[in-house]
Amino acid sequence: MKADLHVHSTHSDDGHQTIEEIIDRCRQLDIRVLAITDHNDMGGCEEAMRLGEGMIVIPGIEISSKGGHILGLGLDRPVPRGLEVAETIRQIHEAGGIAIAPHPYRMSTGLGENNVRDNDFDAIEVANGRSRRGGNRAAKALAEELRLPVMGGSDAHDQRSLGRALTEVPDDCRTASEVITAIKTGRCKAIGAGQSSTRSLSSAIMSTSRWFRRGLKRM
């Protein structure tokens, strides 16, 4: 079944879709598993679990570590921003979650290859709906080399982008914890190629512009 495990709502400063809009759009697209992963904020997770009746909703967060963005899925509490990569991962695990390296090759917010190699990630996001196709291919090659599980997510900040990249989850998963286990054990498949060079360039320009407006600080 289809899962979008990287989605931003209005609880992110750059998010343009409410939790209710996300749930409605997921139902239209037959996305049955959803993770809300706002920037350094888990405020939308409880609302999503309440509104997402009949769906598997996984609490998540995209954390701005010193080395780049890190996805935490299945946590029972937020992890602070601004920590070293290893400490961020440790706190994600301590909170009962798994640590994923999203869009590792993205300028300004990606972890970069060395940070992924040198730390204890549970999986790598190899299909990101907002990343360039080459970046996704490189992430997949890195996951294969390191023998790490993979996942995919749209990284949607608006409704048009939902479902552009997905994770295929085994149909026998019934709970969030079962989905987390399926990711960790490599039973999931990432779906989606990413953006064309033209669309990726446009996204990169907008992201870089926001980055400079924040004073070169990560979201």
pTM of full prediction above 0.85? yes
Contact 107, 96 (CB under 8 A): no
- Say yes or no to pLDDT of 54 above 80: yes
Contact 114, 104 (CB under 8 A): no
Q: What is the pLDDT of residues 32-43, one digit of tens each?
A: 999 999 999 999
Q: What is the pLDDT of residues 127-153, one digit of tens each?
A: 999 999 999 999 999 999 999 999 999
Contact 39, 68 (CB under 8 A): no
Span 3-8, mean pLDDT?
98
Give me the percent of the chain exceeding a pLDDT of 70: 89
- Say yes or no to pLDDT of 198 above 80: no
Q: Predicted confidence band at 195 (pLDDT cuts at 50, 70, 90)? A: confident
In angstroms, what CA-CA distances link 26 with 57, 112, 121, 167, 180? 11, 31, 28, 13, 19
**Structure confidence at residue 216 (pLDDT):** 58
CATH number of 2-213: 3.20.20.140
How many Cβ atoms from other residues are within 10 Å of residue 196's Cβ? 11
Span 164-188, mean pLDDT?
98
- Say yes or no to pLDDT of 208 above 60: no
Q: Where are the alpha helices (DSSP H) in the chain?
A: 19-28, 45-51, 85-94, 113-117, 133-146, 176-184, 197-213
Contact 22, 165 (CB under 8 A): no
